[in-house]
Amino acid sequence: MNQKETIDWENLTPEQQRNLDNLFVEIKFLDRDAWEAIDDPEKMTQEIFNGIQLKRMKVGPELEDLSEQIFLQYPDFAINYANRLEKAFLYQDSSSDELETCENIRQGIIREFGFSRRIIV
């Protein structure tokens, strides 16, 4: 007979707490397609991969664990993504002030990946 392991919600291990935190972050920031692709690798596409990575840029460190996980899990998608990021950075005007440069890079990334502004604003 199989016994179910119970979770002591009041005394989670650091790993359990991190996994729980990551689950809530994924629910909060990812759409259904991304969620399904994370759960089923056959559903992962370059577009979904790019979307998760770009969402991480917008959200920040909260999505870092997931972003790193899929970067390592899908090296071909990661290489394509990195090449496109590099292309977006190469076409930036380096004579602008820092704030303007950041916005120019952001806009270059949005253009390179073909995303509308409202997706990652």
Task: Supply the pLDDT for residue 96.
Answer: 60
Mean pLDDT by 10 residues, the chain (121 residues): 75 88 87 90 94 86 88 94 83 62 72 58 39
**Contact, 90 vs 65, CB < 8 A?**
no
pTM of this structure: 0.70
Query: 3-state secondary structure string, the chain?
Result: CCCCCCCCCCCCCHHHHHHHHHHHHHHHHCCHHHHHHHHCHHHCCHHHHHHHHHHHHHHCHHHHHHHHHHHHHCHHHHHHHHHHHHHHHHCCCCCCCHHHHHHHHHHHHHHHHCCCHHHHC
**Contact, 45 vs 5, CB < 8 A?**
no
Task: Supply the pLDDT for residue 91.
Answer: 65
Task: Supply the pLDDT for residue 3.
Answer: 67
Task: Supply the pLDDT for residue 45.
Answer: 96
Task: Supply the pLDDT for residue 9.
Answer: 87
Task: Supply the pLDDT for residue 56.
Answer: 86
